[in-house]
Structure 1
Amino acid sequence: MVGADVARTRDDDADVIVVGAGPAGASAAHYLAAAGRSVLLLEKATFPRDKVCGDGLTPRAVSELVRMGVPMRPEDGWMRNKGLRVVGGGHTIHLPWPEIDRYPSYGLAKARMGLDQTLAYHARTTGAKLMEGVNVTGPVVDDRTGRIVGVTARQVDARGRRIEGADAEIELRAPVVVAADGVSARLATAMGIAKRDDRPMGVAVRTYFRTPRHDDEWMESHLELWEGEPRRSALLPGYGWIFPLGDGTANVGLGSVSSTARATQLDYRALLAAWMRNAPAEWEFTPENQIGPVRGAALPMSFNRKPIYQRGLLLVGDAGGMVSPFNGEGIAYALQAGRIAADVISQALVRGTAAERERTLATYATRMADDVGGYFQLGRQFVRLIERPEVMRICTTYGLPRKHLMNFVLKLLSDSYDTRGGDISDRVITALTKIVPAA
């Protein structure tokens, strides 16, 4: 509400509350603390904790980590890779990460069990107050303005259970709240920000294997996922992956996508099990080498929850549906959203009037749309195409042998193209993202 006061009062516990200490929340907290803001970073789990993810980081994500100043030493579990090995249609090709000005020419892999803890502790080192085992139960809303002015929360143990003897509920206040609470987006939902059913939704499952392939310098993508026996059943929109982690293990999983939010009826765990049974014996993807269960998660794509700013609440990462429809990548956009949200908030809190502060906060949505809205919208059209089995079959059979075409596809799918020149493929992708309306 324009005119509502967002300035900090003596009753506030911080300048900003960030709910969720995944990549998006940790990024926002880091940049806010670096700007001299008092930040509470609330995480319901206790580190280390796991999240379902492919554990692969594109050059775009790496560039965000470099910007944050996160150390990425191999001895700390950061596995560098050269690019993508693509398998499909009877072909195997190697696609190095593009050499462009805005991103490094390498990717990384690191298990989320360690990645999220590293980023959250990095934010804490910068100056954010990290509070683990704090489960946010809802927003605190000002009756007069309708703005969020804090959150209610309760202390929980490592399993998410209420701690006996602890206060049933606590209240924490701040003039601005950042929702980084993941795909569930409970805070946004409580504030009346609904999910959009016209945006793509992905599903991914993954597990870990001990394997000789753990030190492979290439991330691997399998473009053909069959509902049943290969080439005698339906070809599914999605891909399988093998992401080596360099520690004796690899993250192995698969994902599929729908152009709308409707749930698919596929048994993804059975599909992954069938793929593993058909894997070459030398990969050693066997039950005795499997580490942990197969776990799955939804992937909310293309800003599937809007508005991403409303009444003092900014949505970042999965809470705002910031996963790429092209490849299921979410970490890069989560880190970016946290950075932009922090900059907008820092600028807003020094404005002289409530109206000025509100106008500044509202620029968050515009800045995100300007940067990735067109790309996400292009991804929506891409998903509609690959949902058609005949299109997927043509692409894998006839597209993969064409190296120049596949280099173009890699730039497009990984969002690793040069927006300020580059070669013809960079210019084409840039033009396409500007032609389509922002998502």
Structure 2
Amino acid sequence: MSEQVETADVIVVGAGPGGSATAAYLAQHGLDVLLLEKATFPRDKICGDGLTPRAVRELINLGVPTRPEDGWHRTRGLRIVGGGVRMELDWPGNETFPPFGLVRTRMDLDETLARHAERRGARLLQGMNVSGPILDHRDHIVGVTAKVMGPNGRATGATREFRARVVVAADGNSSRLSLAMDRPKRDDRPMGVAVRSYFSTPRHDDGYLESWLELWTQDEAGARHLMPGYGWIFPLGDGTANVGLGILDTFKDFGNFDSREVMRRWVAEMPEDWGFSEETRLAPIRGAALPMCFNRQPLYDRGLLLVGDAGGMVNPFNGEGIAEAMEAGRYGAEIIASALARATPGETEAVLRSYPKVMKDALGGYFMLGKQFATLIGHPEVMRLAVRYGLPRKALMRLLIKIMANLPQERGGRLDDRVINALSRMTPAA
């Protein structure tokens, strides 16, 4: 049974970091915003929980306090392990990015950002499982239908209708709304898979994220193969650490191995001082897909704008998606606010259609560089040479951390900043 139709200027579907950032910025622009979330907070999300300085910048832009006493664990940099090398690299702070990262569980982070959007004026409705678009005579989206979910996560049988001038899909990798609007995934873009769990550990307050660059799988003949990806240990400062791994699908045997078993073997070989074991594991090993390089396009069409995983905005260099999702929310909100202030529908549509170019100018060239990187390290011999000869060179690794976390100073800066920016501009975005 459908209830009364509710209206707004903009509907945002999905209250992850991208959706909540979009809603908060839209509300700050004075728009009436509905933020629809299918679950009820607090709710979990498969993620590494690590925030690079690029993500921290977006939290600062959004005005979210990140005090340690509120549960934010601050990190100094990245500790890299592989090829017999163990190296600590501090985050390269500059005029654009702060010199620190953060770790916060998605259970806490997502609710924090959704509540922040509420305080800015967005109307957050939980338990709204959006089931499809409402289209007008032009096939433009003008609203959504939603199944009302109970606190137990089951449908109550009730449905709701919501109408708005613009709809933002921030509903994750599967993005039911995008699929309903004819936005299938592109098969020419890399994908990743990540698995993770939580462990209690005496090193929970370590100041460095830890990245292991040697992950191995074993074939039926017993031969070991180096995989394109990395394992992570992200201390949370609360007695626990997020432990997981991410693997790219550019590996020729992708899909022919059990990523959870790879993780179990890797964790079993961890140094004893981390204290990882089946007895200290606090949660099941769970997995999720990582959609990369704008793998669902167009990012705007017929009234629907894509943000975050719904638009395939995961960084192919390191698997990060939170910074990119929040960045897209910032750009998208500015464009929507400008568009809705125009005098005619034609002018509004012209401004909305600028969103794909704005996002490709911001991240497209960098993403395509990452696509080439992902393809390259999909060859085991290339990966093996990179680990053997690249890791021991600290100056090279300092450059790589800046490239892989996308941390060059945006204007001016050092020579390496200017080179990274030039490469991103020169690489065609597609």
Which category of TM-score, normalised to the shorter sequence, fits these structures?
Answer: over 0.9
- Equivalences for residues 94-173 of structure 1 within 5 A: 94-142=88-136, 144-163=137-156, 167=158, 169-173=159-163
Do 2:251 and 2:378's aligned partners in 1 also have CA atoms closer than 8 Å? Answer: no
Give 2:318's aligned amino acid: N
Q: Partners of 1:378 and 1:263 in 2: how far apart? A: 21
Shift of 1:69: 0.5
**2:390 paired with 1:399:** yes
Q: Partners of 1:260 and 1:374 in 2: how far apart? A: 23
Q: Which residue matches 2:48? A: 54
Q: Where does structure 1 lack aligned partners over 5 or more consecutive residues? A: 1-10
Q: Partners of 1:400 and 1:282 in 2: how far apart? A: 23
Q: Which residue matches 2:195? A: 205
How many residues align? The count is 424
Q: Which residue matches 1:214? A: 204
- Equivalences for residues 359-370 of structure 1 within 5 A: 359-370=350-361
Q: Partners of 1:199 and 1:24 in 2: how far apart? A: 21
Do 2:251 and 2:379's aligned partners in 1 also have CA atoms closer than 8 Å? Answer: no
Change beyond 3 A, Cα 1:319–1:260 = farther
Give 1:44's aligned amino acid: K
**Post-superposition CA distance 1:383-428 (Å, at most 9, x none):** 0111011111111111111111011100000001123222222122
- Equivalences for residues 428-439 of structure 1 within 5 A: 428-439=419-430
Q: Normalising by the residue count of structure 1, what TM-score does the alignment of the two structures yield?
A: 0.94
Q: Which residue matches 1:253? A: 244
Q: Partners of 2:330 and 2:253 in 1: how far apart? A: 31
Shift of 1:100: 1.4
Q: Where does structure 2 lack aligned partners over 5 or more consecutive residues? A: none
Change beyond 3 A, Cα 1:390–1:60 = same
Give 1:245's aligned amino acid: L
Q: Which residue matches 1:5? A: none
After TM superposition, the structure 1 stretch with the greater mean CA deviation from structure 2, 337-346 or 422-431, is 422-431
Candidates 158, 171, 177, aligned match of 1:181 = 171
Q: Which residue matches 1:20? A: 14
Identity of aligned residues (%): 58
Shift of 1:99: 2.3
Candidates 274, 279, 286, aligned match of 2:265 = 274
Q: Partners of 1:419 and 1:253 in 2: how far apart? A: 31
Q: Partners of 1:361 and 1:351 in 2: how far apart? A: 11
Runs of 4+ in 1 over 3 A off after TM superposition: 259-263
Q: Normalising by the residue count of structure 2, what TM-score does the alignment of the two structures yield?
A: 0.96
Matched position secondary structure for 2:69 = helix
**Post-superposition CA distance 1:136-170 (Å, at most 9, x none):** 0100000x21100000001112343112xx52x22
Q: Partners of 1:147 and 1:20 in 2: how far apart? A: 20
Do 2:227 and 2:251's aligned partners in 1 also have CA atoms closer than 8 Å? Answer: no
**Post-superposition CA distance 1:269-307 (Å, at most 9, x none):** 000100111112221111111111111000000000000
Do 1:23 and 1:334's aligned partners in 2 also have CA atoms closer than 8 Å? Answer: yes
Change beyond 3 A, Cα 1:51–1:57 = same
**2:323 paired with 1:332:** yes
Candidates 411, 418, 421, aligned match of 1:420 = 411
**Post-superposition CA distance 1:197-254 (Å, at most 9, x none):** 000100000000000110000000000101139x961000000000000000000000
Candidates 306, 318, 322, aligned match of 2:309 = 318
Q: Partners of 2:416 and 2:313 in 1: how far apart? A: 24
Shift of 1:345: 0.5
Give 1:293's aligned amino acid: P
Q: Partners of 1:428 and 1:237 in 2: how far apart? A: 25
Matched position secondary structure for 2:294 = coil
Shift of 1:261: 12
Matched position secondary structure for 1:357 = helix
Q: CA RMSD in A?
A: 1.6
Q: Which residue matches 2:214? A: 224
After TM superposition, the structure 1 stretch with the greater mean CA deviation from structure 2, 216-225 or 259-268, is 259-268
**2:27 paired with 1:33:** yes
**Post-superposition CA distance 1:294-328 (Å, at most 9, x none):** 11000000000000101000000000000000000
**Post-superposition CA distance 1:102-127 (Å, at most 9, x none):** 11010000000000000000000110
Q: Partners of 1:324 and 1:422 in 2: how far apart? A: 22
Q: Partners of 1:407 and 1:211 in 2: how far apart? A: 28
